[in-house]
Structure 1
Amino acid sequence: MTITDFTQVPLGTILPFVFNDSLIPDGWLKCDGREIPVKYKTLRELLNGYTPNFAGRTLIGAGEANNNSQSDGTYPNFDNKTSWPLGQTGGEYKHRLTVGEIPSHNHTINNGDFGLHRRSFDGNSDSDLPYKTKLEPAKGDRILSGTDRTGGDGFHNTMQPYYVINYIIYAGSE
């Protein structure tokens, strides 16, 4: 299919495009951060001379949001933002968790039979064993311990599952 009339397409319309660069129609530009040709004066002025660069990025709708659950049960405002201005960028390619992002938890140490301890001693005995053990009440014994440090203190990927495509923007007719 060939589209020959883009008169009804608003300037700046962005579309997903699954084909390579050689098949981008006339009047459309790839959204890869390149300089907009001077022949597309209006779009060039509106976007400060460059197409948006969507390489490695996902799109988020501009506008106001709140902390109320959406009809699908999601919460769009996870970081207490109240608006997403048109053209704003954000996010990060990798992330290192902070203590505040780790779920509340504790590490326990199992002391087995708390209050009792086993001790061994040498002695004269009728037994074949070189020593005997005796279980007796603990006398103020305490375990002073912690857990070993763990983790690599590295970054982790936060990318959702994806399928790579191009985005194109309508620049207008020459």
Structure 2
Amino acid sequence: MQSAMFLTVHHDCGPMDKSAGTGPKSEEKREKMKRTLLKDWKTRLSYFLQNSSSPGKPKTGKKSKPQTFIKPSPEEAQLWAEAFDELLASKYGLAAFRAFLKSEFCEENIEFWLACEDFKKTKSPQKLSSKARKIYTDFIEKEAPKEVRRKKKCPCFRIC
């Protein structure tokens, strides 16, 4: 049975977002949604970590390298359940998340995110230009080799 994981990204699009939904009830609703989202992530990550330790049936007729599974400490895995940034900052967490995305046939999403993070850290204008071009040709351009899915009408996502 395949499980589904959705990555939610909060982005401040402008003044309308800030003015809409203010007040104590709105804050309570946001906190409740945040707790629900965190519980959902914990469940999905624990499910993935439990199921990633069983290699499954090897394919017949092909020689393959034996799979090695890297297990993080329980404390490190607990941090992942509390903050998605902790998962992405950990080499084990990133490897686990990448394996999960690969199993869901959407590994390009984490590759795109990593490329964008690298782009944000770049200082040289020459390198910025070449990295931007590479991100565009690899992930955004129509029929790109690792094309990421995006909403056409999203006001927060603009290509210049």
TM-score bracket for this pair, using the shorter chain length: under 0.3
Larger Rg: 1
Given the two structures, how large is their TM-score scaled by the length of structure 1? 0.23
| Structure ranking higher on relative contact order (CA contacts 8 Å, 6+ apart) | 1
